[in-house]
Amino acid sequence: MTSARPVPAVSFQTARSGASTNANELGMRPMQERAYNKRGEQYLLIKSPSASVKDLRLQPG
């Protein structure tokens, strides 16, 4: 049998203003809306952490 060992853990807390969950009339969050507004630019670089939703689903119409 093995002895108990401590398990390292990390905890952090961020501001919870709810701004990132509010969607506009097209259903886009603020970051998505800013990227959408720049969609006609010659170059567009979007930096975001891994495992974050980066796709922009455009609705036909």
pLDDT in tens, 42-53: 888 877 766 666
Round the average pLDDT of the chain to a whole number and report it.
75
* pTM of the predicted protein model: 0.45
Mean pLDDT of 15-44: 82
Alpha helices in 1-61 (DSSP H): 30-37
